[in-house]
Structure 1
Amino acid sequence: MLQTCGSNSVQSLVSSETDEVRNVQMVTRADDPLGELFKAREIEPYSKSERCLNLLETWIKKCHKEHPLCSWSTDLSLPTRVIDVGAQTQDPFLFESNGARGEWLTLSHCWGGISPLQTTSHTLDTHKSSIPIGSLPETFRDAIFLTRRLGYKYLWIDSLCIIQNSHEDWISESSQMFRIYANAAINLSASAARNPRDGIFNSGDQQRKFSAPLTTFHCRSNAKDIEGEVGVRLQISGKGLFVLLPNEPLHCRAWVLQESVLSPRRIDFASTQLYWECRTTVHTEGYPESNDGAGFLKASGRTLHQVNQRQMDPHPHLKQGPVLEDPVSWWYMMLNNSYRGRKITMDSDVFPALAGVAEEVGRRSGFHYKAGLWLEDIHRGLLWQPLHSLKKSKDVSCPSWSWASARLPAPDCRLALDRYAAGHRATVLDVEIKTTGENEFGRISSGTLKLECNVHSFNDWKEPLLPVYNEHGGDFKSMRMHTRYLQAYYAVAYARAQMGRVLCTVDVRPDDVDSCHSEMVQRRAICAQIASFKVPDLGINNYKRAEDITDWKTIIYGLILEPVDDSSQVYKRIGIVEIAEEDGLAEGWEKKKLTII
């Protein structure tokens, strides 16, 4: 026997035999009279249905007419090449714009280990004449269908609009990613498709059956004097569907984050339903009239357009105000929340995959970009911490001091000190980044950092004041005891028991923590002081407003470095160190000039 409890569209279904509780939703069709009482809508069995296509058109028209923040332009310079989709009876072709203007859509899709149809130097002229629709993989055919149906002429697809066997063209076009996506009318995201053969529609339709109503019954509202059909389905995430999107094949890819962040409007064809995302709101097929999109936009990193250049008066120990007032804090929030853990095929693509976003953050902040960090905030940026024991990038061109060198298999680290004002303990003498092309935000060939700072050799620490080593390396759970979460060094039970000793966390988990110090000595490792931070002396869960905190402690953060060879004075990063200044642990260090690669 089942009974329901709850209100509005969401109910709890309770089994009297097992006491199992499952949330269900009361849903109606859009044209049902009871739609004014139940806001959840039935999910169509096929995403290519007329109802779904009409819904997309409704969202687009609403954004055009009612969203002043979502600026639309019909007169922009087209990308170098776009696909002219033509009429329904014509084959599309590759159009070289040569300064022509207009509107275009973009397609985000997974290659998935399968090479889609590509434009190369050998096929360029052929594609400029015609691209037979039958030669295209299903995802591309679906994108062309949608472009035509939504009333647009041009479509940009990476594999067809970039000459794939030309390094020069790839470098040139990759430097245009910001303009291509930020100026596009709409981005079509084939979220559920694992590869180009899956198709935009078919890849999602396989899961839609699980969103169908379990049963339908006739219902009447005496108060409203209306009646109609109400369906009951197991609850799918409604307004907060961003919980599911990161699990879609497309959104596991590093390249796609940039496409998502930069695009002013996006249609996601996911495995459960359709999504509309613009700069104003988020709509879903299950809740098509909902305007509650703030959580989605923040979780997906799609808030760059809200970030301005206004600087707020800082708290004495806190960095300036909210993230949305500070482009660089937004950048690290995006890395922490949205980019971390995404998959990338080639290590050397880690910077190009974010080049467009980095360009816009640089424009808004006025800061200078240095291999994923920002020169004017580099003391904080150098102090990223791994969330897990790392695999270092195989790309030797990626500097060890950049978060991009952390691989698991994607960048997997956190900048934990983004709220706190840094007191500089190192002087930056020079940062030299060499790129493989003219784009300063793109692929790099080397990165060198020169500092003058206080250093201490591991060989000079003796019993009983040897450093304390984080037992689990960068393991996430153990790091709750670590100052990563900005709990003061003194407030943490683990650290309090080790007063008078510095706390070290190596990037790559040690096989035997007991032998970690002897290993550091053998590797001739040193600690280099980078910055000091005033952090609140609070317990693990004791959060207060900054103005209510009276007891602040100074923690000096530094890098653990090892020389790249036996004779060199050139170093690479292998970990991070935390030093309690009040214990006098920062005294007696030697000032030295260092080169870190």
Structure 2
Amino acid sequence: MIELESIPSSTLCNVCTGIFTGTWRPQLSGWKRELKTPGAPPDPFHPEPAFGTAYDHGMEPYINRNAAPPTLSYPHHSVEELRSSGDSCALCKTVVMAFDALHPRDNGRVDYMEGRKPYGVAAWSAEEIAKAKGTLERVNKFLDETKDFAEILPKSLVRELPTRLLHLTKDSPEPVARLIDGANTSLDVDTPYIALSHSWGNTMPIQLIASRLSEFTNGIEFKDLPATFRQSAELALELGVKYLWIDSLCIIQDSASDWLHEAQRMASVYAFSHLTIAASASKNPRTGLSPSPRPRTVIVRPSWKGFIQEWGLQPGQTLRITNPWYEEFKNTIVSAPLNRRGWTYQEYALAPRVLHCTDGEWWWNGITDGISRETSTKQIMWYSGPGSITWPDKVSFFNKERRKLTSTPDIWVWDYLTSQYNQRALTKRKDKLVAFGAVAQLFGQVNNLPVDKPNEYIAGAWRSYLPFGLHWSIGENAERHFSTPGSEDAEYVIPSWSWASIDGLVRYHDGKSLKETREEQVKGMPRLVDAKVVTEGGPFGPVKSGYIILHGPIFRIRVAKKPKDHKQNAFYRSFKVLRSDGSEAWEHSGQAFSLDSWKGKLEEWADDREMYFMIADCEGESKYGSGFAILLELAKDVASEKGVYRRIGSTLFYFDGIEKLMDAVREKGSEALRDGEYIDADPKTGFYTYKVI
């Protein structure tokens, strides 16, 4: 509750001081009531009201009108004015905090990244508490109703128990968790177990190391477990399950071989779990499953004329503002600390049933669009869709029939899975592909890809889909990662053509996958000649080296640097296609090149720099249309080989087709590339064979 009367007037701005002297009048002119899509962007000529969101209240600005009846209840004209005033005014700051809790400026993820916390009332009402009764019974009913999920898993994914499990017993005087060997016990393979998805934080207070193996086998008393682990064990027993899997207690953390072996088995661990408990709000094992009651509402007690006029409330009455369910799920769970971590992506995406333990409330869902919550008996539908770049659509992931209904090609599902995962943070760079390996394995099995065939899965791409999967560009604030020489991950590499070489959002341009035949799909794309990666511990382990060999049109170009807008990760350039003798064959002006590593690199990009222009896709050989090109540079550290490149960026462009461009380049007997810049050439087409590492 916000007691406005208790705020000293000396801490208020002039506008807020006028509220209490009765001089304030609503100043929100230019707005009218009309149906408007919630969340629609505000009109830049009519700033958004400060308290609440006008669009959420069915408002939109009058066009070419000077006034409209006042509709919302705070005097500042715009959100930004309110934020500025909040630096010195206590009341404005209070409203800013309430506003951000209900209507984040950007999205929930940014809220957490910038450290903004919601403000409101921690305690539940009596009505909410009454609705929450019987939660365990409802969760058990949900588990019973969805127990047939395993039937839709691919037969190639063999059901097996995790290598190690914690056996939970209610021994007197304290409950005990004993580490057992899941593979060498008399347990039936269908024995239910619960898996925990949690964030490690900066430290791990207890973990399994080789020297403590016998100690853990003898048993750990619940009281010696950190809060998140202890509460998960207690909850498992309350749900009637005696076995629990926690990564830090079931994988030998100081054994590289055990860690790598277990990392390759995560698809089975999570896909066959009876339930996954997601400690969504917990930042580390010590904070517990629900660290503090999260306010889901903002309570405002009106004490000035504005509220009385606008809301029909009397002083002392309460105005309660709540988020829609959809927004609450997004802000409470999708944006939770747990779901910003890389390893936890597969823990949600592959788990058949998940119980989300958040601040103050539990939510649960399975392989459907329906989501249940503790404070309501009604389900909500939260369908992210196969095209979401923030949250996995598990229905489309597991159900190929669902994709047919939405006309979603398999490669699109893969594109969006990688885009979602790639935005998450990892402590160790070498884990980048390992932490996604279980998703890759199960995706391959669901879609009948030859997962066990050598070099089918290559550093985040599928050979069967190539050249699809190469057509990506970096998104906002993304950048290529470069290992520091001498660092612990220096021996591991991710090829430059892989999305995993980027930290952050990648966007794909695989629209041609909608065409009916493979022959039609790959027209205008280079041909895959060979692909190979060297991994440690299996196809989904960390990568030591890798390359792809392609055959298609590639050109040497000279670019002119014209920096225009760094926020779009792009340099606007004109570029010239060169012949092998250095003469200019074709020029394109006003082109936006998206560089994979542009931050802080502007000064390093000399004007008139030469690079290579690999046409990865175009609409036709001899007609005007769009094309997608990958920018390359010669790998100078591989001087012993010819035609070896690294990817440095990408671009969308328009031209008159490959035939005309090749004719222009080969004029006067010249070619596109010089000796040493290619592996082999086709004298008829002028296309080249080249390697990208």
Q: Is the pair's TM-score, using the shorter chain for normalization, greater than 0.5? A: yes
Q: Which one has a bigger Cα radius of gyration?
A: 2
Q: Among 441, 453, 458, which residue is 2:552 paired with?
A: 453
What does 1:111-510 correspond to in 2, within 5 Å? 111-201=200-290, 203-205=291-293, 207-208=294-295, 211=297, 233-244=320-331, 245-271=333-359, 273-280=361-368, 281-295=370-384, 300-303=391-394, 306-309=397-400, 325-336=408-419, 338-367=420-449, 368-387=456-475, 388=477, 390-394=479-483, 396-407=492-503, 411-418=504-511, 421-438=521-538, 440-458=539-557, 461=558, 466=559, 471-472=564-565, 475-476=567-568, 499=588, 504-509=593-598
Q: Is the 8 A contact 2:251 2:258 kept in 1?
A: yes
Q: Among 184, 192, 196, which residue is 1:107 paired with?
A: 196
**Cα distance in 1 between the residues matched to 2:478 and 2:73:** 47
Q: Is the 8 A contact 1:239 1:287 kept in 2?
A: no
Measured at CA, do residues 577 and 563 of structure 1 come closer, stay the same or move farther in structure 2, by a change above 3 Å? farther
2:82 is matched with which residue?
none
1:509 counterpart SS class: coil
1:529 is matched with which residue?
615
2:550 counterpart SS class: strand
Q: Is the 8 A contact 1:276 1:283 kept in 2?
A: yes
2:85 is matched with which residue?
none
**Cα distance in 2 between the residues matched to 1:141 and 1:50:** 26
**Cα distance in 2 between the residues matched to 1:52 and 1:125:** 41
Residue by residue over 1:47-82, the C-alpha shift from the partner in whole angstroms, topping out at 9 and shown as x without a partner, is x98974722431430452378768699x96321111
1:258 counterpart SS class: helix
Q: Among 621, 624, 629, which residue is 1:557 paired with?
A: 629
**Cα distance in 2 between the residues matched to 1:148 and 1:276:** 18
1:593 is matched with which residue?
689
2:194 counterpart SS class: strand
TM-score by length of 1: 0.73
1:123 counterpart SS class: helix
Q: Is the 8 A contact 2:524 2:619 kept in 1?
A: no
**Cα distance in 2 between the residues matched to 1:264 and 1:476:** 38
Q: Is the 8 A contact 2:367 2:395 kept in 1?
A: no
2:379 counterpart SS class: coil
Q: Is the 8 A contact 1:82 1:95 kept in 2?
A: yes
Measured at CA, do residues 427 and 113 of structure 1 come closer, stay the same or move farther in structure 2, by a change above 3 Å? same
**Cα distance in 2 between the residues matched to 1:50 and 1:85:** 31
Measured at CA, do residues 106 and 69 of structure 1 come closer, stay the same or move farther in structure 2, by a change above 3 Å? closer
Letter in 1 for 2:436: L
Q: Alignment RMSD, CA only?
A: 4.2
* Seq. identity, %: 22
Post-superposition shift, 1:514? 9.3
**Cα distance in 1 between the residues matched to 2:146 and 2:271:** 20
Post-superposition shift, 1:567? 3.2
1:34 is matched with which residue?
none
Post-superposition shift, 1:180? 0.5
Q: Is the 8 A contact 1:501 1:585 kept in 2?
A: no
**Cα distance in 2 between the residues matched to 1:232 and 1:59:** 33
Measured at CA, do residues 470 and 64 of structure 1 come closer, stay the same or move farther in structure 2, by a change above 3 Å? farther
Q: Is the 8 A contact 1:558 1:578 kept in 2?
A: no
1:331 counterpart SS class: helix
**Cα distance in 2 between the residues matched to 1:445 and 1:527:** 27
Q: Is the 8 A contact 1:352 1:441 kept in 2?
A: yes
Relative contact order higher in (CA < 8 Å, ≥ 6 apart): 1
Q: Among 639, 643, 654, which residue is 1:567 paired with?
A: 639
1:199 counterpart SS class: coil
Post-superposition shift, 1:553? 2.3
Letter in 1 for 2:467: H
Measured at CA, do residues 329 and 534 of structure 1 come closer, stay the same or move farther in structure 2, by a change above 3 Å? farther
Post-superposition shift, 1:191? 1.0
Post-superposition shift, 1:441? 1.9
Aligned residues: 505
**Cα distance in 1 between the residues matched to 2:146 and 2:214:** 43
Q: Is the 8 A contact 1:108 1:188 kept in 2?
A: yes
Post-superposition shift, 1:185? 1.1
Structure 1 unaligned segments of length 5 or more: list them.
26-41, 216-229, 313-320, 483-497, 536-550
Q: Is the 8 A contact 2:422 2:500 kept in 1?
A: no
Letter in 1 for 2:427: T
Q: Is the 8 A contact 1:355 1:441 kept in 2?
A: yes
2:177 is matched with which residue?
92
Post-superposition shift, 1:426? 2.0
Measured at CA, do residues 105 and 446 of structure 1 come closer, stay the same or move farther in structure 2, by a change above 3 Å? same
Post-superposition shift, 1:511? 5.9
Q: Is the 8 A contact 2:479 2:599 kept in 1?
A: no
**Cα distance in 2 between the residues matched to 1:567 and 1:379:** 26
Post-superposition shift, 1:358? 0.4
Letter in 1 for 2:508: L
Residue by residue over 1:426-447, the C-alpha shift from the partner in whole angstroms, topping out at 9 and shown as x without a partner, is 2222111111102x12222111
Measured at CA, do residues 526 and 6 of structure 1 come closer, stay the same or move farther in structure 2, by a change above 3 Å? closer
**Cα distance in 2 between the residues matched to 1:594 and 1:119:** 47
2:443 counterpart SS class: helix
Structure 2 unaligned segments of length 5 or more: list them.
1-18, 20-24, 27-32, 36-55, 59-69, 78-94, 103-121, 302-316, 450-455, 484-489, 514-520, 574-586, 666-671, 674-686
1:77 counterpart SS class: coil
Letter in 2 for 1:405: S
**Cα distance in 1 between the residues matched to 2:630 and 2:405:** 26
